[in-house]
Amino acid sequence: MNKLGKILILIGLLAIFGIFEIYKNSGTKVIKIYSANKIAIDLNRNKIIDDGEIVCIPDFDVYTSDIKIDQSSLAKANNLSKTDSIKIGYLTDKFAENLLNNKNVKVNFYDNHTPTCKLAEITVNNKKYKEEVFNEGFALINNKPYNTSKFNDLLEQARRLTLVVANPSSEKFHSLNCKYGINSADYEILPIEEAEKLYQKCKYCLKNYKENVQTTAIKPNYPEQKLAPATHTNEILHKENITFIVSDFTQILKSDRKCSHHFCTEMVNVINSTTKTLDIAAYGWADIPKVSSAIKNAEKRGVKIRVIYDKRNGKEYYPETQAFISSQKQTCSDENLNNKTLTSMLMHNKFLISDNSKVYTGSMNFSTTGLSGFNANNVVVISSPTIASLYAKEFEQMYSGKFHTEKVKNPNYRTEKINNTQISAYFSPQDKVITSKIIPLINKAEKYIYIPAFVITHKGLTEALINAKNRGVNIKIIVDATSYGTRHSKNEELKIAGIQVKGENLAGKLHTKSIIIDDKVVITGSMNFSNSAETKNDENSLIIEDEDIAKFSRKYFEYLWAKIPEKWIHSTIRAESKDSIGSCSDGLDNDYDGKTDSEDSACQ
C-alpha cells in the first residue's frame, strides 16, 4: 500500500472516531435518575445500564427521596427532620426527572472518577445542567444551601406535601416511617392522593386513615402575616385555693425583665409570703430583678432555700442559671458522674414549694421569655398542704441525689379535693403519666379534646387521639412552630387521620403542655407529650377536674385558635421568618440555627 493510501485510511479512521464521539455526546439519553447529581446515561445506546454508564455531577450535594440513602448528617446540618429531608428530596428528584429523564444530553467527562461513578459535566437543552440545579435552589455546598432563600421557599413547598411509600408488589402504601414501607425492595415515594388511586392503605401504619380526608395543601400563596386585632382574653382565674394563669403571647412580641406579667407577680407573691422553707426545682433560671430581690429578702428573714436544677441545661440553654446556683448555699443537680446516660436526661421540673403548704408549678421555665409572658404557658398556684406534701416527697428524693429512673414511686394517694375541684399530682418517670393517666382520659372523651402543646411525639397518645377522632370527638391541636422540625413529630400522622393541627405563627413559643377535655378536665404541667418525658425525665403533671377551670382553659384555646390564621393548618410555619410575627425583631434565635433576626435568611 502506498503512502497516500495509508494517509487516506488514517484520515478515514480519525473521521469515523470523530463522528462517533460527536454522535455519542450529542444524542446520548438519560435512562435513569438516581438523584439530582447521580444519573445513568445510555452511552452505547443499547437501552440498558452497563458498566461505566453511571455519571455523577461533582462539587455539590442534594437531597433525595430515596429512603435507603442515609441523609441524617445532611438533615442535621440544616436542622431538618427525616420527613423534611425526604420531602425536599422528592421535589429535587422530580426537578431532575423533568429536566433530564429520557432526554438527549451532551457529556464532557473529567479525568478523575470514583469507583462507582464517572465524573462529568452535562449539558441539556444547550444549558449546563449543574447551573440549573444551582439556579433553582436545590444545590448544597458543604452541607448548606447554595441559595438559601430559594431553598427555604422549596422547603416550605415541600412541607405542604403529604407523601407516602408505595409498594407496587404488595399494592399497598405506607407512611414514610412505616417499617413495611421502608423495608420494601420495590417502592416509590408518592403524594398520598396519587397513591390512593393505585394502591390500598397499609393496615399497620395507616389503620386509622380516612379516605375522605383532604390531605393536600390549599392555595400556596397568602398575604403577608400581620398581628391580628387584639380582643380580650382573661389570663388569670382565682378559684378558692387555686389560681390558674395563662399568657396571651399574641400581644407580647418581646421578652423583658420587668416582672409585669401575672406569671412573675404571682411568683414574687409566693416568695414574699414564705416564712420558713422555699424549695425550688428549676430547669433553668434568669435574673429577673424583682424575683432576685424577693429571693434575697427571703434569705434575710431566715427562709431556708434549697434548689435542684438540671446540670446540662444550666450550661447550655440558660447561662444565668450558674450564677444563681453559685449564689445559693443548698443546691443539687442531676449530674451523675458515674452514669452519663442518667445525666443526659432532663430535670425538667419548674416548681416552687412554699412552707410545705403552697405549690407554684406549670409549663413555664423561670426565664425572661417565660416570666414576661412572651411564651405561651400556664401556671397553677395551689394552696394545699396535701398537694405540697406530694411535691415535697418528690423534691426530697431529687435533693438526696436520686433523679430520673433512680427515684422510687410515691405509693401515697395522689388526689386532693378542694371544695368542688379535684387535683391529682403525678411525677415522671415513675408514674408513666401519659400511658397510665392521660390516655385513659382521652379514651373517655365524648365531645372535644383541645391541645395547646409544644410538641407531640408520643405514639400511644397519637393513636388514642386518632381513635377518639374516629368515634366522633372534635379534636383541635395547636403546636409550636419548632415542632415541625422535630424528627419524631406526629403532626403529619395526625393530619392524615383528619385531625386539625395548626402551627402557631408568633415570635414566642407555644410552650404549654395541656389537654382540655369536655369542659371537665385540664391536664397540665412540665411534661411534653413525648416518650422521653414519660420514661426518662423528671417531670410533674397535674390532672385538674373542675368545670370552671376547664371552661376557662377552653376559651383561652379557642381565642388562640381564632387568632392564628387557618393557613397554618395546611402550611408549615417556620419559627423564625417573616410569617412568624415578631420573630425577626425579637432578638432571639427562634429556630436554633445560630442566626438571629436579620441574620436568618428567612427574615431577609
**Span 79-111, pLDDT tens digits:** 888 888 999 999 999 999 888 988 889 999 888
| pLDDT at res. 192 | 85
- DSSP, res 253: -
| pLDDT at res. 206 | 74
Strand-pair partners of 362? 379
Strands 277-282, 200-201: parallel, antiparallel or unpaired by DSSP?
unpaired
Strand-pair partners of 308? 281, 332
Q: How far apart are CA 252 and CA 388, in angstroms?
A: 32
On the question of pLDDT at 596 being above 70, the answer is yes
If DSSP states are collapsed to H, E and C, what string results for 527-586? Answer: CCECHHHHHCCEEEEEEEECHHHHHHHHHHHHHHHHHCCCHHHHCCCCCCCCCCECCCCC
Mean pLDDT, rounded, for 531-536: 95
Distance of alpha carbon 342 from the chain centroid: 24
| pLDDT at res. 69 | 87
| pLDDT at res. 318 | 85
DSSP string for residues in 73-139: HHHHHTT--HHHHHHHHHHHHHHHHHHHTT-EEEEEEEEEE-SS-EEEEEEETTEEHHHHHHHTT--
pLDDT band of 36, cuts 50, 70, 90:
very high
Helix (H) or strand (E) holding 350: strand 350-354
| pLDDT at res. 172 | 85
Q: How far is CA 154 from CA 125, 242, 566, in A?
A: 24, 48, 21
Closest C-alpha to 161, from 88, 226, 257:
88
Q: How far is CA 11 from CA 17, 22, 23, 197, 393, in A?
A: 10, 16, 18, 60, 97
CB atoms within 10 A of CB 482: 22
C-alpha cell at 514: 395541656
Length of the chain measured in residues: 604
Mean pLDDT check: name the lowest of 484-488, 519-523, 595-599. Answer: 484-488
| pLDDT at res. 550 | 97
| pLDDT at res. 15 | 56
Prediction pTM value = 0.68
- DSSP, res 61: B
Mean pLDDT, rounded, for 48-73: 88
| pLDDT at res. 213 | 38
Mean pLDDT, rounded, for 446-466: 96
Mean pLDDT, rounded, for 436-442: 98
Q: 99-117 in b/e burial notation, b at 16+ Cβ within 10 A?
A: bbeeeebbbeeeeeeeeeb
On the question of pLDDT at 188 being above 90, the answer is no
| pLDDT at res. 43 | 85
| pLDDT at res. 221 | 39
Mean pLDDT check: name the lowest of 114-118, 215-219, 431-435, 566-570. Answer: 215-219
Q: How far apart are CA 400 and CA 175, in angstroms?
A: 45
| pLDDT at res. 1 | 58
Q: Write out the E strands in 196-301.
A: 200-201, 236-239, 242-246, 277-282
475 neighbors 447 (Cβ within 8 angstroms):
no
Specify the higher pLDDT residue, 375 or 232.
375
Type of residue numbered 407: K
Q: What percent of the chain has pLDDT over 90?
A: 56
Dihedral, 528, 534, 540, 544 alpha carbons, nearest 10: 80
Mean pLDDT check: name the lowest of 165-179, 259-273, 448-462. Answer: 165-179
Strands 448-453, 515-517: parallel, antiparallel or unpaired by DSSP?
antiparallel
Type of residue numbered 40: A
Q: How far apart are CA 560 and CA 422, in angstroms?
A: 26
Q: What is the pLDDT of residues 348-379, one digit of tens each?
A: 999 999 999 999 999 999 999 999 999 999 99
Catalytic residues: 511, 513, 518
Sheet bearing 304-309, strands edge to edge: 236-239, 242-246, 378-383, 358-362, 350-354, 277-282, 304-309, 331-333
- DSSP, res 438: I
Specify the higher pLDDT residue, 170 or 358.
358
188 neighbors 506 (Cβ within 8 angstroms):
no
Asked if residue 565 has a cis previous peptide bond (ω within 30° of 0), the answer is: no
On the question of pLDDT at 211 being above 60, the answer is no
Q: What percent of the chain has pLDDT over 70?
A: 90
Residue with cell 500500500: 1
220 neighbors 160 (Cβ within 8 angstroms):
yes
Closest C-alpha to 452, from 476, 481, 482, 434:
476
| pLDDT at res. 220 | 35
Query: Phi and psi of 340, rounded to 5°?
Result: -65, -30
Mean pLDDT check: name the lowest of 32-41, 183-192, 291-300, 472-481. Answer: 183-192
Angle between helices 82-100 and 148-159 (to 10 degrees): 110
Q: How far apart are CA 395 and CA 382, in angstroms?
A: 16
Q: Is 451 helix (H, G, I), strand (E, B) or coil?
A: strand
